[in-house]
């Protein structure tokens, strides 16, 4: 990504600058956030989305939320910080990176609880920027690790947007594709449009075209036919939360795609930073699945496409069982044929 | 369907009245066709769609095309009829019912070649109405045969629109659901929206709601998750062409849905009239698959949803292998676990 998805402008008194992804690809518009409400709204309304980018937004949002807080002592300050993190946590319940980043901010505050409040604020500011820097690093490493799995001249399928727009760097799934492309390994990418919010059509195809890749857009229901008609060498997707078992929650449709890939013997890869693992969650069926507004399904670009009053079921995520995943690609290395033992070894090792 | 999808108004000098399905569910508007060009456009632009309805439209269109033809002898007349059928055949290359209906009109002309031209025209008129009548009959019988396969209180999933809007009667897949509902066997229906043209969202959910069924709309990529989260007792779809092997072409996405149903041990049924079988086609991979305009994928309700210039692959159909089909439901009876031998026995027996 030549244009950063999210960045901090200025010093401690500065602000967050982020791309309003709901307007892509028609319009490239930036939002500037100076308070937690603006960040909450941006996360909730998917102006910023993608697990790692949400983590960055949450960390920066937490700092914005306590920047102007006056507190007499650490306990008061920490209670105020917890109010902020609780508030920001309500924006997207499935995204573990959100909670991971918010907890990280709390831990920093606790670690420096003997320092003056202003000093703690400075540490929190540095930590938020560090979350962004680390994400850029891990994005690069995920790309390097994953590229080796793509055969030379390969055709790759991806789903939703796990690209630069989803992270502070090059993405997760798309970091693999970018790195493989630089090595001459990727000839063609099939991008699934990803209903209901069309992140694949709007964001992934835009981002890949900007980067000069040969991308073909398809509807989500075409994947099985494409696997019969075109040679697909790999499917690479991101993840929003990975259980200790290796089961991975990702954008709704990923589970079905993994079944169809297995049927056609196409290797299915999940690319995600270590922060996506939630070791407190034993298995995929324990991951809470966010249900979103029916309007996302019944309105497209503001126009109603279904009868008034129709019932809608709109889960935002599903769970790819570890057994359908050929490998999980992280910045720390690759977990082939993931299971609880291998996950524990890489994540905690 | 209380409102007929297609009907003939008046006598020999009358016209075709059909619902413009591209405007549903927002607007219920009728089109009146008095010539073959109007019918061709209606078929091509999906104002009328669904295999059986296309057959009816084609038969009526063939009559409209030769109604005013003056010919000195049968040979001249028949050549003119063939010009009309060739022309109408270009509107939708995958729909076998289109060709089946056009051939049927040609056979009628040939059978009465010793009669005066005006008499032949009368027979062709009667034949076009007969195609409609037979379809209404077969729709009813498909419903009766299929309903027995649905467990009491069942939840059924359907795809695209194989309903009253797709036929002259109650539909094929939806005829099964309507009949089962009348018998108290269907509690709930999940309708897949069916990208790119959203026949499920626009037509099926509208039609089922009009008929008083409890219908829930989902995106196509949600089917696997729904099969995990909700108890789905059966998937019922229509078909546009069935090969002698029992492989069935249907709306793009049907193949993937059949894989996902098999994975979850959900029986997958194809409901179609005998006219859908194309015994000249040995197996599914020989069925020609229509590729449609990229604009269908990149524009939704007239609004662009993908970057300008993006490549698009837009196949309109895929093929459900016979091995994924629990049964094919026809007006002549049911073919359980279809194969070439069983298909031949029912279709030609």
pLDDT cut 90: percent of chain B above it: 90
Taking contacts as CB-CB distances below 8 angstroms, the residues of chain A near B310 are 201, 205, 209, 215-217
What confidence tier does A1 reach under pLDDT thresholds 50, 70, 90?
low
Q: CA-CA distance, A170 to A331, in Å (whole number)?
A: 13
Q: Where are the beta strands (DSSP E) in B123-205?
A: 154-158, 186-192
- Cα of A220 to nearest chain B Cα, Å: 6
Distance CA B346, CA A328 (A): 49
Do strands A234-237 and A154-158 pair parallel, antiparallel, or not at all (unpaired)? Answer: parallel
Report the catalytic residues of A. 240
pLDDT tops 60 at residue B1: no
CA of B243 vs chain A CAs: smallest distance (Å): 17
Residues in B 25-84 with any Cβ partner in A closer than 8 A: 25-26
Q: Please report residues of A whose CB lies closer than 8 A to that of B158.
A: none
Q: How far is A226 from chain B (nearest CA, A)?
A: 9
| B198 at A interface, C-beta within 8 A | yes
Give the 3-state secondary structure of chain A: CCCCCEEEECCCCCEEEEECHHHCCCCCCEEEECCHHHHHHHHHCCCCCCHHHHHHHHHHHHHHHHHCCCCCCHHHHHHHHHHHHHHHHCCCCCCHHHHHHHHHHHHHHHHCCCCCHHHHHHHHHHHHHHHHHHHHHHHHHHHHHHHCCCCCCEEEEECCCCEHHHCCCCECHHHHHHHHHHCCCEEEEEEECCCCCCHHHHHHHHHHHHCCCCEEEECHHHHHHHHHHCCCCEEEECCCEEECCCCEEEECCHHHHHHHHHHCCCCEEEECCHHHEECCCCCHHHCCCCECCCHHHHEECCEECCCCCCEECCECEEEECHHHCCEEEECCEEEECCCHHHHHHHHHC
Using CA atoms, how far residue B273 sits from A91, B252, B255, B270, in Å, is: 50, 20, 20, 10
Average pLDDT over residues B32-52: 95
Q: How distant, in Å, are the alpha carbons of A10, A136, B254 from that of B321?
A: 60, 45, 10
Among A214, A260, A303, select the one facing B301 at the smallest CB separation.
Answer: A303
Instruction: Suggest the residue from A219, A268, A294 to mutate for an interface test with chain B (most B CBs closer than 10 A).
Output: A219
Place of tokens 């590729």: B291
Cα dist from A338 to A99, A328, B79, B106, B226, whole Å: 24, 7, 67, 62, 25
The more confidently predicted of residues A168 and B87 is B87
Looking at beta carbons, which residues of chain A come within 8 Å of B303? 300-303
CB–CB contact B259 A196 (8 Å): no
Q: Which pLDDT value is given to residue B275? A: 87
Inter-chain touch B309–A195, beta carbons under 8 Å: no
> In B148-294, which ranges are continuous DSSP H helix?
173-182, 199, 205-210, 223-229, 254-263
Per-residue pLDDT at B51: 85
Q: With beta carbons less than 8 A apart as the criterion, state whether A220 and B221 touch.
A: yes
Specify the pLDDT at position B174: 97
Give the three-class secondary structure for B250: strand
> So which residues of B are the catalytic ones?
240
Q: Write down the pLDDT at residue A50.
A: 87
Which helix or strand (DSSP H or E) is residue B129 part of? helix B117-147
Give the pLDDT score at B94. 75
Q: What is the mean pLDDT of residues A84-96?
A: 90
Q: Distance (Å, rounded) from C-alpha A210 to C-alpha A205?
A: 8
Report the candidate in B175, B165, B187 with the shortest Cα–Cα distance to residue B145: B175
Confidence of residue B21 (pLDDT cuts 50, 70, 90): very high
- Is A147 or B301 the better-scoring residue by pLDDT? A147
Q: Is the pLDDT of residue B271 over 80?
A: yes
CB B165 within 8 A of CB B21: yes
The pLDDT confidence band at residue A51, using thresholds 50, 70 and 90, is confident
User: What pLDDT, in 10s, does the model give residues B89-135?
Assistant: 999 877 788 999 999 999 999 999 999 999 999 999 999 999 999 99
Contacting residues for A126 by C-beta, under 8 A, at least 6 apart: none
Kindly state which CATH superfamily the domain A145-348 is placed in.
Translation initiation factor eif-2b; domain 2 (3.40.50.10470)
Q: What is the mean pLDDT of chain B?
A: 95
Mean per-residue pLDDT over chain A, rounded:
95
Å from B291 to nearest chain A CA?
12
Residue spans of the domains in chain B: they are: 6-140, 145-348
DSSP one-letter code for B162: -
> How far is the alpha carbon of B93 from chain A, nearest alpha carbon, in Å?
18
- Verify whether the Cβ–Cβ distance A217 to B313 is below 8 Å: yes
Q: Dihedral (C-alpha) A55, B226, A24, A210: value to the nearest 10 degrees?
A: 80
Q: Which of B256, B292, B295 to mutate to test the interface with A (most CBs of A within 10 A)?
A: B256
pLDDT value, residue B302: 86
Alpha-carbon distance values, A246 to A97, A277, B214 (Å): 16, 8, 37
The complex's ipTM works out to 0.89
Whether residue B304 lies within 8 A of chain A, CB to CB, comes out as yes
- Tokens read off for B286: 């020989």
Of A219, A225, A256, the CB nearest to B260: A256
| Nearest C-alpha neighbor of A165 from the set A21, A9, A269 | A21
Confidence check: pLDDT of A2 > 70: no
Please answer yes or no on whether A225 and B201 come within 8 Å at the CB atom.
no
Contact A318, A247 (CB under 8 A): no
Q: Which DSSP symbol is given to B11?
A: S
The CATH homologous superfamily to which domain A6-140 belongs is translation initiation factor eif-2b, domain 1 (1.20.120.420)
B265 close to B188: Cβ distance less than 8 angstroms = no
What is the pLDDT averaged over residues B289-297? 94
Residues of chain A above pLDDT 70, percent = 99
**Strand, helix or coil for residue B301:** coil
B321 interfacial to chain A (CB closer than 8 Å): no
Res. A301 pLDDT band, cuts 50 70 90: confident
Interchain proximity B315–A225, CB inside 8 Å: yes
- pLDDT above 60 (res A138): yes
Residues 227-286 of A with CB under 8 A from B: 228-230, 252-253, 255-257, 259-260, 263
pLDDT at A219: 98
Residues 81-110 of A with CB under 8 A from B: none
Give per-residue pLDDT as tens, A91-102.
997 778 899 999
Residues of chain B with C-beta less than 8 angstroms from the C-beta of A222? 252-253, 313-315, 318
């Amino acid at each position: 990504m030549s244009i950063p998805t999210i960045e901090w402008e200025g010093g401690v008194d500065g602000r967050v600058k982020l791309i309003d992804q709901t307007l892509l690809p028609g319009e490239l518009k930036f939002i500037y956030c100076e308070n937690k409400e603006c960040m909450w709204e941006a996360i909730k309304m998917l102006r910023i989305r993608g697990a790692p980018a949400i983590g960055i937004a949450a960390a920066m949002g937490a700092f914005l939320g306590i920047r102007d807080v006056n507190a007499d002592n650490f306990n008061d300050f920490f209670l105020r910080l917890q109010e902020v993190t609780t508030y920001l946590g309500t924006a997207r319940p499935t995204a573990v990176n959100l909670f991971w980043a918010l907890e990280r901010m709390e831990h920093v505050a606790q670690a420096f609880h003997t320092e003056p409040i202003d000093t703690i604020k400075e540490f929190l500011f540095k930590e938020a920027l560090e979350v962004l820097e680390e994400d850029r690093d891990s994005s690069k490493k995920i790309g390097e690790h994953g590229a080796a799995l793509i055969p030379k001249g390969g055709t790759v399928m991806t789903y939703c947007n796990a690209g630069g727009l989803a992270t502070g760097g090059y993405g997760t799934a798309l970091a693999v594709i970018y790195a493989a492309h630089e090595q001459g390994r990727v000839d063609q990418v099939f991008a699934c449009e990803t209903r209901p919010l069309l992140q694949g059509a709007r964001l992934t195809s835009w981002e890949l075209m900007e980067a000069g890749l040969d991308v073909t857009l398809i509807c989500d229901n075409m994947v099985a036919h494409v696997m019969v008609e075109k040679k697909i060498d790999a499917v690479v997707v991101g993840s929003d939360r990975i259980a200790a078992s290796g089961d991975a929650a990702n954008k709704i449709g990923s589970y079905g795609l993994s079944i169809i890939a297995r049927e056609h013997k196409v290797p299915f890869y999940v690319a995600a930073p270590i922060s996506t693992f939630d070791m407190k969650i034993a298995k995929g069926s324990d991951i809470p699945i966010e249900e979103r507004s029916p309007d996302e399904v019944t309105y497209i670009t503001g126009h109603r496409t279904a009868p008034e009053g129709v019932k809608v079921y709109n889960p935002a995520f599903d769970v790819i069982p570890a057994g359908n995943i050929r490998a999980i690609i992280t910045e720390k290395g690759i977990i082939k044929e993931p299971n609880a033992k291998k996950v524990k070894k890489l994540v905690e090792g």
